[in-house]
């Protein structure tokens, strides 16, 4: 730490507030600290993260830009700004900022992964896959790019390759419920019902409210002629979706 930043103790206090979800208080503390340390890129980055969490996207971008103005090679600020731009729906700007982060930090695996997601959203599937491959080449134990690539391969109809990618994600992270679920979806498309059943059940055992897995299992059971069980699963998924919507509204 240096004179541009608060003490580690003060920074950790603010970070703890942020990680505990006390975003308003964390933002207030960071803002007050910035009056004493107006050149602290760490405080601007924290303020940006707080505003992003509060869905104050323009304020978040302003904080990240201020951090970059002070420290032009601050790759994390470019990365975080990309995440906010993506949430705003400005995918092209998000991609440009990911590229800037990677120019500063070429081994930034998370930036390659997220840029892949943004490229997928604008329909450039081959470029997205290329970025996922770069991400796990840099970080071989990074499960998300394998999962994300699996989703694109499934979308492109290359089911065998998709299954291989999902399995690699699971090999790295055995409790990756979403990957088990989408592996089940791909297996079902290949009419491998029994293997799909195992994948759905595994996904649900890991994440009891994973609606795609519950509804996938319900549809599979209907296909197998187990109508009562299948309908029960579909009702469970529908009820869980309604519960999650209500919970989200009450939290906000």
Q: pLDDT tens digits for 95-105?
A: 999 999 999 99
- Say if 64 falls within a structural domain: yes
Check: CB of residue 46 under 8 Å from CB of residue 77. Answer: no
Give the pLDDT band of residue 36 (cuts 50, 70, 90): very high
Domain shared by 134 and 145, yes or no: no
Q: How many independent structural domains does the chain possess?
A: 3
- Say if 81 falls within a structural domain: no
Whole-prediction pTM value?
0.87
Domain range for 100 is 88-139
Q: Which residues have a Cβ under 8 Å from the Cβ of 177 and sit 6 or more positions away? A: 202, 203, 204, 206, 207, 210, 213
Domain shared by 61 and 93, yes or no: no
Residue that terminates a domain, selected from 72, 101, 131: 72
- Say if 39 falls within a structural domain: yes
Query: Which residue matches tokens 């978040």?
Result: 60
- Say if 78 falls within a structural domain: no
Residue 37 clears pLDDT 60, i.e. is over it: yes
Domain shared by 145 and 252, yes or no: yes
- Say if 178 falls within a structural domain: yes
């Amino acid at each position: 730490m240096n004179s541009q930043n608060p003490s580690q103790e003060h920074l950790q206090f603010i970070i703890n507030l942020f990680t505990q979800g006390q975003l308003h208080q964390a933002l207030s503390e960071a803002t007050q600290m910035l009056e004493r340390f107006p050149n602290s890129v760490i405080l601007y980055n924290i303020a940006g993260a707080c505003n992003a969490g509060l869905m104050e996207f323009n304020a978040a971008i302003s904080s990240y830009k201020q951090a970059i103005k002070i420290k032009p090679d601050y790759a994390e600020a470019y990365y975080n700004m990309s995440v906010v731009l993506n949430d705003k729906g400005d995918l092209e700007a998000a991609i440009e900022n990911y590229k800037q982060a990677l120019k500063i930090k070429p081994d930034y695996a998370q930036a390659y992964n997220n840029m892949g997601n943004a490229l997928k959203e604008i329909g450039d599937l081959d470029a997205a896959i290329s970025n996922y491959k770069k991400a796990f080449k840099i970080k071989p134990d990074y499960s998300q790019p394998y999962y994300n690539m699996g989703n694109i391969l499934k979308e492109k109809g290359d089911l065998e390759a998709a299954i291989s990618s999902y399995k690699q994600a699971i090999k790295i992270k055995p409790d990756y419920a979403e990957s088990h679920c989408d592996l089940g979806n791909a297996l079902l498309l290949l009419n491998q019902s029994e293997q799909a059943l195992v994948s759905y059940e595994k996904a649900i055992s890991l994440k009891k409210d994973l609606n795609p897995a519950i509804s996938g299992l319900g549809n599979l059971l209907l296909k197998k002629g187990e109508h009562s069980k299948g309908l029960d699963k579909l009702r469970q998924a529908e009820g869980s979706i309604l519960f999650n919507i209500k919970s989200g509204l009450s939290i906000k």
